Structure formats: C-alpha cells, structure tokens
Amino acid sequence: MTQTDSAVAKTLEEAAALTEAEMHALLDRRQVDRQGYERLKEAMEYSVFAGGKRVRPYLCLEFCRAYGGSDEKALPYAAALEFMHTASLIHDDLPAMDNDDMRRGRPSNHKQFGEYTAILAGDALIIESFAAISGNVHCSGEQNAHAAAVLAECAGLDGMCGGQELDLYCEGREVSVWTVEKTHLLKTAAMMKASATLGCIAAGAGEEETKQAGRFAEEVGLAFQIIDDVLDAVGDTKALGKTAGKDAASGKNTYVSLVGLASARLTAEALTGCAMGRAEKIDGESGKRLYALCEYLLCRDY
C-alpha cells in the first residue's frame, strides 16, 4: 500500500468510526422494552456494523467540510445514508433478488436470521434513515426537508430501487452497454450523488457547488460499480467478502461481460479522471482528500 493509499484508508476509517458512533446513538436513542421482537434490532445491527468501506458517509462528511460545515451537522445525514445503503444490501442478498449467502465475509442477513426478519430489518433501516434526517437538530428544518427529498429521490423509483429492478430484469437478456450504464447510474451512482449532496446541504453550500459535487459523486459511483464488475470477474471470495463470479453464474449483464476486462478498466479510469478534475477545483485539504479517494477506489482489490 502506498503512502497515499494509507492516508486515504485512514480518513475512511476515521469517517467510519464517527458514523458508527452516530448510528449506535440513533439506534439506541429509544429505551423501549422489545421483548418478543428484540431479534429485529439484532438483525439490523448485524448488518449495519459488519464493516465495509463506508464511502457514502465519507463523501457526506468530506463535502460538508469542503464548504465550511461541521461534522456535527453532517453526521446524522451520514448515518442515514449508511442505514439506507445497508438496507439495500440486506434486500439485495435475498433469494428473490441476487440470492447471495455471503456479505462482508460472513453469512448474509437472511442466512443468519431468516428471510422474514431480514426483510423487516431492511425495511426498518430505510425508515430509520428518514428518522435520522428529520431529527437532525444541528441543521434547520428546511435543510432536513431538502435532505430527505434528495435521499428519497436517489434511493427510490428513479434511483437505487429502479436500478435494482432494471438489473434483475436484464439478467439473461441481450442488452446494450448503455442499459448497463443506466443500471449502474441508478443502482450505485445515485446514492453516491445523494451522499455528496447531503454533505453540501449540511454545509449550506451554493447551488453550483452542490451541482458539481453531485457530478463528482456520479462519476466516482459509476467507476466504483465498473470496478466491482471487474473484481467479481477476477477476484476471490475471501478478498471480496462476497461470492466471486456471481455475476457470470447468474447471467448478469456487466461492463465486463459486454466489453471485456480491458475496456471496462479504461472506462473506469476515464470516469475517475473526470472526477479528479472536479476535485482539483475544490479548495483546501478536502479537495486533496477527494482527489486521492478517486485513485484509491479505482485501484482497490476488494
């Protein structure tokens, strides 16, 4: 690992620690007797605190810092993003969807707790994400309403959920590269865009700054998913923490299956270059850290 990689890994770990402390506080804020359904909270925490790169909360925190905001303002939004993302992973692994037994190096939620509890755990985390945003006392009601609307748009019909539907519908069908790109933009890049945008909202950034942050995150998100496609094809299960080769086995259309490994990597590199160009225009240490993050994500092996 290079010195730059180590620095990026450290900043991701620091953001993860802050976000996880916030998520613990949010999930523990209500002192309720849950006798008879305590298993649901256990299932939620099983997936929420299973690790991961925490890129989405990191983007939220870093863009808030970039435009003069504090971590205190952004952390409830960062936690909400991770609740939503984790819910999508729980549901994504279900037999009716991608049917994966492994997630982050251990049994997926439905393998550990059963299907109905896994479905409810995902549902509850989606609802908790909006509770986290609406309860953010460090931002104004107007900011919280804006943040909730952005998250709903990027996670819903014309975002992550729409992307998942398109992804599953296209399995085993002949599709174009454009369709795969649209799938990735909806399923992955939309939530990256939400992350950067919520950071800007927390900071009170201007319209143009927020727009550029969203474009940066979309480019990073699309490159991120293309590299996921590459790693699924060439990686191993232990390193990835999930079943390698699953895309090919299920007949899933990916950049790799349509254009090959070399072209997929070139596309990811081009998108990363565009994002780096945007990061260079952000003043201060945040711009430097976001620039380094681009390269780190492009060269990752898990």
- pTM here is 0.94
pLDDT value of position 108 = 97
The architecture (CATH level 2) of 3-298 comes to Orthogonal Bundle (1.10)
pLDDT value of position 30 = 86
Q: Where are the domains of the chain?
A: 3-298
Residue 236 banded pLDDT, cuts 50, 70, 90: low
How many CB atoms are closer than 10 A to CB 153?
15
Concatenating the DSSP letter of every residue in 152-183 gives HHHHSTTTHHHHHHHHHHTTTS---HHHHHHH
pLDDT digits (tens, 9 = 90+) for 67-80: 999 999 999 999 99
pLDDT value of position 244 = 57
CB under 8 Å to 197, separation ≥6 — which residues?
63, 150, 154, 210, 213, 214, 217
CB under 8 Å to 301, separation ≥6 — which residues?
231, 235, 239
CA distances from 33 to 30, 40, 276 (A): 9, 13, 49
Q: Does residue 223 have a pLDDT over 80?
A: yes
pLDDT digits (tens, 9 = 90+) for 101-123: 999 889 999 999 999 999 999 99
CB under 8 Å to 245, separation ≥6 — which residues?
232, 233
pLDDT digits (tens, 9 = 90+) for 27-56: 999 888 999 999 999 999 999 999 889 999
Mean pLDDT of 213-238: 90
Question: Where are the extended beta strands (E) located within the chain?
Answer: 102-103, 106-107
pLDDT digits (tens, 9 = 90+) for 134-152: 999 999 999 999 999 999 9
Place of tokens 């991608």: 98
How many whole angstroms separate alpha carbon 190 and alpha carbon 51? 22
Beta bridge partners of 102: 107
CA distances from 257 to 39, 182, 233 (A): 40, 16, 9
pLDDT value of position 3 = 66
Q: Does residue 239 have a pLDDT over 70?
A: no
> What SS3 class is residue 129?
helix
- Tell me, rounded to whole angstroms, the distance of Cα 116 from its chain centroid: 24
